[in-house]
Amino acid sequence: MKVINTIAALKSLLEPIKLAKQKIALVPTMGALHKGHVSLIKIAQQQADVVVCSIFVNPTQFTDPKDLEKYPRPLEHDMKMLQEAGCNVVFMPSVTEMYPKPEEWHIDLGPAEFLLEGEFRKGHYQGVTQIVKKLFDAVNPDIAFFGQKDFQQVLMIKNMVSEFNLPVQIVSCPIIREDDGLAMSSRNIHLSAEDRENALVLSKALTYVKDNFSTHSIPVLLEAAKKLINGTPGVELDYFTIANGATLLPEEDKKHHDIVALVAAKVGQTRLIDNMILN
């Protein structure tokens, strides 16, 4: 496994591979890796010749400086996980490597940018697409893999790719859950034992909605899910919605395909998101 810190070194490693028509996959991460990330690497390995994983805690996507500061950075553990997963190249640039000078970034990501996470974390998806574009420029991947857990993020990245007409395929990979249903997340590390127990209500509410989707109306499902979450101590609901997966607008017609239930809540001091595709 090669560990690379500069864009120039990365390009000189990858350009001959690209010229030899080998398929390059990129798995962008912010580190603090868990089994969800490993699953992305495993899926990437099945579809490409060379898998590059980036680890970069991107400052421009954090709306709360405290959140950026306390973002976990367990480097040794990450390297071990990547080595064991059989990752070929790790790209781990510094902040100045990715942002050598101050820059303005604004791209039209469509109205869905301002919904859900976009409402609670203003400017978040501008920062996400800014760094993903830079990583695409550095790696020039044929295919890139993202977790479905950040459902809106995948949508925003697909919108960015189509806005710039980038020659990269975006693949959304299934959410990996703990045995009790908790969606894996780098932020779970901040949950106390009590928070972790309370956090299970998010996947329980989503599962309830999925299991009852064919028999109950959308308003009834929403009411039941919100009641379940609001009745759990230590959990502060930001949103629970049943939405159109392409627009993220609330869905009213169950006959449409591509319907997804999405939730975000603060559990103790930790903000968690989760979702489930319903049809």
30 touches ligand PAF by CB under 6 A:
yes
- Closer to ligand PAF by CB, 58 or 140: give it: 58
Residue 127 or 268 having the CB closest to ligand PAF: 127
CB neighbour burial string for 239-275, b if at least 16 within 10 angstroms, e if fewer: bbbbbbbeebeebeeeeeeebbbbbbbebbebbbbbb
| 48, 52, 89, 132: which one binds ligand PAF (CB under 6 A) | 132
Which one of residues 29, 188, 232, 275 is an interface residue with ligand PAF (CB under 6 A)?
29
Name 55's bridge partners: 29
H or E element in which residue 260 lies? strand 259-267
Task: Pick the catalytic residue from 37, 77, 106, 124.
Answer: 37
Q: Is 128 in the site for ligand PAF (CB under 6 A)?
A: yes
- Distances in Å between the alpha carbon of 71 and those of 57, 100, 119? 8, 22, 21
> How many residues interact with ligand PAF (rule CB under 6 A)?
10
52-81 residues in contact with ligand PAF (CB under 6 A) are: 58, 61
Which residues share a beta bridge with 273? 264
| Crossing angle between the packed helical segments 7-19 and 124-139, to the nearest 10 degrees | 60
Name the one residue in this structure whose structure tokens are 């959990």. 235
Of the candidate spans 22-30, 98-106, 194-202, 215-223, the one that interacts with ligand PAF by CB under 6 A turns out to be 22-30
Q: Which stretch binds ligand PAF (CB under 6 A): 26-34, 107-115, 193-201, 258-266?
A: 26-34
From the CB of 214, what's the least distance to ligand PAF, in Å? 32
Distance CA 70, CA 48 (A): 34
Tell me the C-alpha distance between 191 and 187, whole Å: 8
Pairing of strands 169-173, 235-244: unpaired
**37 labelled catalytic:** yes
Task: Choose the binding region for ligand PAF from 104-112, 127-135, 209-217, 231-239 (rule: CB under 6 A).
Answer: 127-135
Q: Which residues bind ligand PAF (CB under 6 A)?
A: 28-30, 58, 61, 128, 131-132, 150, 153
Q: Which residues are catalytic?
A: 37
Binding-site residue ranges = 30-37, 61, 147-150, 153, 176, 184-187
